[in-house]
Amino acid sequence: MRHARHGKKLGRDAAHRKALYANLAGALIEHGRIKTTVTKAKAVKPIAEQMITLGRRGDIHARRQATAFLRSKDVVHKLFTEVAPAFADRPGGYARIVKLGPRQGDSAEMAYLELVGEPVEFKEKRPSELDAQARALAHEEAPESTHPIHAEAHDEKPEHDAVAEVDEPDEGEEPDGEEPEAAAEGEAEEPISEEVAAQAEADAELEEEL
């Protein structure tokens, strides 16, 4: 029976599993963030936090314990000089898990295991998602007149209005705009011709009297 035997086996024996945890915890301390499966992240997170607790102690015994597990003096040096002092005022919770969704190959749930001091970086969106968001924003910002229903309402106009706007003269007829000018010219010529005729009659009468 498995009394007091907690934790995931991850399909590995004890030695292989211990080496895996040491490598993942060392990579997290060295880089500040690693990308792995959710199951491995949940298994490594408490171990990495234990290493940071040893770094906060700072004594020689804690350094030897960290070196025995991590198997790298460079990682232990960074843990005790840079990482652990950054969490001196934090009582716990040095790491967090940010889920990323399924992996493309085998659909395994992926996640970022990162130290709390590191900024959160979300995965880049695919072009299809960006196009969908752009279309949604364009639809929200567009005025009501650009809606297809409103556009059809504005485009529809009565036919008689279009005909009434432009009246083209038929062939052989003069435009309506030139008729007043012609009438004005005729009216101006009539009084002039009467005066000339009256003057001519007056001259003829004088000649007869003489």
List the structure tokens of 25: 């915890």
* pLDDT > 80? residue 182: no
CATH class of 14-115: alpha beta
- Which strand (E) or helix (H) includes residue 199? helix 179-209
Beta strands in the chain (DSSP E): 33-37, 95-102, 109-115
pLDDT by residue (tens digit) across 114-160?
A: 999 855 555 565 666 667 777 787 777 655 555 455 555 555 555 55
Instruction: Report pLDDT for 163.
Output: 47
Measure CA of the first residue to CA of the last residue in the chain; give whole Å: 164
What's the mean pLDDT in 172-184? 51
pLDDT of residue 123: 56
The pLDDT assigned to 183 comes to: 47
Task: Give bridge partners of residue 101 from the DSSP assignment.
Answer: 110
Q: Which residue in the block uniquely carries the two structure tokens 């350094």?
A: 63
pLDDT of residue 171: 55
Each residue's pLDDT tens digit, 14-47 = 999 999 999 999 999 999 999 999 999 999 999 9
What are the C-alpha distances in Å from 98 to residues 25, 34, 114? 16, 11, 8
- The rounded radius of gyration (Å) of the Cα atoms in the chain is 49
User: Has residue 73 got a pLDDT over 60?
Assistant: yes
**Stretch 7-16: mean pLDDT, rounded?**
92
Q: Which of the residue ranges 3-7, 72-76, 102-106 would you say has the lowest mean pLDDT? A: 3-7
